[in-house]
Structures are given as structure tokens and as C-alpha cells.
Amino acid sequence: MAGTETEIQNIKQRFGIIGNAPMLNHAVRVAMQVAPTDMSVLITGESGSGKESFSKIIHSLSPRKHGQFTAINCGSIPEGTIDSELFGHEKGSFTGAHEARKGYFEVTNGGTIFLDEIGEMPLSTQARLLRVLEYGEFIKVGSSKVLKTDVRVVAATNVNLLNKVSEGRFREDLYYRLNSVPIYVPPLREREKDVELLFRKFATDFAEKYKVKPISLTEEAKVILLKYRFPGNIRQLKNLVEQISVLSSEHKEIDAQTLINYLPKESTLPAVINGQSGKDMSEREILYKVLFDLKKDVTEVKKMVLEILSDPAQAQQILKNNTHLFEGIHETKIQPDQPVMLNINPVPNAVHGTADDEEVHDIAHEAEDDSLSIQKKEKELIVRALSKNRNKRKYAARDLGISERTLYRKIKEYDLEK
């Protein structure tokens, strides 16, 4: 059976796949196992993570390896011409069609077609593609003649197709037809030490290309490299190494500060929130944390207003002790005998420094409700995601925008095991 450790290493070496992360090896193993079949495959993963390499593995290890392999980026073809590109057209079928043309599904008969960015394909074209997958049939643009083709389809996407299905922008029947065998290509931030291996490989390649000494990293610089999230994944890392190789003509050992200078300024270092670094938190998690911190500040303001309304004489001292909540607001001096003038709605009597018991109770109750912790909200989101995806953690993690590893840790932390 395909998929032994030795076979996986041989395949990775053959197709230039660098790294030993378990999730990467699993993706290679699945590609090897599905290759001899004719099943459709959907490869998912972030932009720049190397999805096309897996389509080539599938084609090269299949009985179609002597046939043609055609890679098509659906997002780069205009909506008005994609049907013609894929299925061909007859002469005179539209303006500019001066002669008949064969489409990729006709030319690649007996081979493999790789449809990258399948989520960008128009709905009308999706219907044509579904017919090819179901019956091996298609019709050229401007023709009524049904043609046959024997093509294996491997698709890839960097977006959540189920979200597009729910939005009515992707056919549900096509999604399940394409997703016969799913392959998930992990981003660099989920591949740990692979980043360092790739850095050394690219450094060697560019040293040979530009006839310079290979760059290397100090131990401190390696820490920075491993903590950086690389939203552009392998493509971004490769560009970074090439840039440093060319521009660092004097010092070939790159220290931490030099590396930081080459990284994008807006996200040079991972944010650290309550001791948790950006490496362990997704952008969505960080956003949730920022929003809940903002909500916490609002709650503090409400509690402070409640204290002022209860004891106007202490207003000056209360405001002085909470200046961090009013940065950027012009200072207003309050005289000891002056009534507190706070225009905070919806408390109609607040401008007089007093409030009815019912109004004070409402503010206190609202402040109490707003004091919910981020842990409770996070737990609720995880429970909802698991329920929605019938406890399939892989899909729940994608809906939440976090890695499966992070989800497993959160499930254990909140005792959600069933």
C-alpha cells in the first residue's frame, strides 16, 4: 500500500517539497493513495502554500501520467471567456470568434486538468463542469453537438467553499462532486521547523543563482523567523530570502534586527496578548480579544458613571483615577460645588447628577451583562461550530478560522469532549 515513510520522502524529493511536518506528510500520503484512482480531488489551503505540487503528484502517479496535464487559474480568466477557454467554441459563436477553437477539456482528453481557484468560477460555468464530471460530456459555445471527454479533474481553492455554497455563489452539488477526496495543505505557521528548512534551501538556491555566499541566520533571528506568521506562505518566504540574498552584500549572517527590517512593518512581530503569541492565535481570535477588551473598557465606563450618579461629590476623584479611559478627550475641570454635567444617554436625569433607582438598577444590570469573559464567548463559539459541523473538528476549525491543533487544545481546556 502506498504511503510508507520512505515512499513519502522519495515523492517529496521528486517534487521539491521541503519539510517534515506531520500535516504535510499526511497530505502527501493522501495524494499518493488517491492517485491511481479516477476520483475527483479538492485541494484546500491558503494562497502560496504549494497546492499545485499536489496536483502534479496525483497526475504523475496515475495511469494518466503519459497524458497531458493542464493547469488553469479560474480567477485569471474573464467571466465572458471562461466557457470558451474550457469547452471551446464554434466559428462565429460570438464577436471575435473568427474560427473554431478546441477547449481545454477537449485538448486534455485522457489527461488531468487542474482547476486552481475553483471558487472564482462563475455559476453558469459550474453547471457545465458538473455535466463533465457526471457524464463526461460538454458542448462547445455556439454549438448544440454533445462531445465526449475523459478527463480527471483536480481542483484547488484558498477560500471556504461551504461558505460560498451558503451564500449561493457555489453549487452545492458541484462542491460534493469535487470533494470526493479532500486534501488539506497546511500553511507555514502550522509547519513549525519547516520554515527554517525552506529558508536554508532558498538561500542555497539564490546563492547559486546570483553567485554570492549563502545567507544564514543567528539563533535570535531564527526565533523571529519561526514566530512570524507568513500570510503569503512559501511564496512570501521565497521572495524574502531572495531579497535578503541580493541586498545583504556585506553581512551574510543575518541577525534579528536585520531580519525584522526586511519583514513587513505592520506585522513584523507577532502580537502578544495575555501571554499568548500571534503564532498560537488566528487573526479571528485576536480580533475577538480586541473586541472583548473594548467591551470591557465600555463596562468600566458604565460602572464609573454609576458611581458618579450615586455620589456626585466624588466625581472629580473618580475621573482622575480613570484617565486611561478618556485619552484624547479634552479635560474638563469640575469645581467641588459644581454639579456633574455628563451628557451620557440614555439616562435622562444624569445631567443633574442624579438618577432614579430604576435607572441605576438598569445601568448596573447592563454592566453586569457586559462583563462576560472572553473565555465564555469563545466556548460558546466553539460549541456552535461543533454543533453546526456535527462534531467534525476539521470543519469546525475552518469555520472558526483556527487550526485543528488549537481547536483540540480549546476543547480539552473547556472540557467539551463527548
pLDDT value of residue 197 = 95
pLDDT digit string (tens) for 346-383? 444 444 444 455 554 554 555 445 445 567 778 888 88
pLDDT digit string (tens) for 42-53? 999 999 999 999
Which H helix or E strand runs over 286?
Answer: helix 283-310
Burial bucket for residue 88 (CB in 10 Å: 0-12, 13-18, 19+): buried
Fold of the domain built from segment(s) 191-269: Helicase, Ruva Protein; domain 3 (1.10.8)
Contact residues for 59 (Cβ-Cβ < 8 A; gap 6+): 35, 65, 69, 111, 112, 114, 152, 154
Residue 339 has pLDDT above 50, yes or no: no
**Among 155, 170, 207, which Cα is nearest to 45's?**
155
Length of the chain: 418
* 133-150: average pLDDT: 95
Write down the domain spans for the chain: 5-186, 191-269, 289-369
pLDDT value of residue 377 = 76
Counting residues of the chain whose pLDDT is more than 70, the rounded percentage is 72
Can you tell me which residue has the cell 511536518? 21
Other beta carbons within 10 Å of 287: 12
Give the whole-angstrom CA distance, residue 352 versus residue 340: 7
Contact residues for 272 (Cβ-Cβ < 8 A; gap 6+): 278
Contact residues for 283 (Cβ-Cβ < 8 A; gap 6+): 401
Fold of the domain built from segment(s) 5-186: Rossmann fold (3.40.50)
Higher pLDDT, 295 or 201: 201
Q: Which region among 274-278, 301-305, 387-391, 407-411 has the lowest average model confidence (pLDDT)?
A: 274-278
pLDDT value of residue 134 = 95
Instruction: Please tell me which of 158-162, 327-331, 399-403 the model is most confident about, judged by mean pLDDT.
Output: 158-162
For residue 216, list its beta bridge partners: 253
Give the whole-angstrom CA distance, residue 280 versus residue 188: 13
Q: Sorting pLDDT into bands at 50, 70 and 90, what band is 279? A: very low
First-to-last C-alpha distance (Å) of the chain: 33
Give the whole-angstrom CA distance, residue 62 versus residue 251: 47
Residue 262 has pLDDT above 70, yes or no: yes
pLDDT value of residue 340 = 44
pLDDT value of residue 357 = 54
Tell me the average pLDDT of the chain. Answer: 81
Give the whole-angstrom CA distance, residue 48 versus residue 70: 19
Residue 277 has pLDDT above 60, yes or no: no
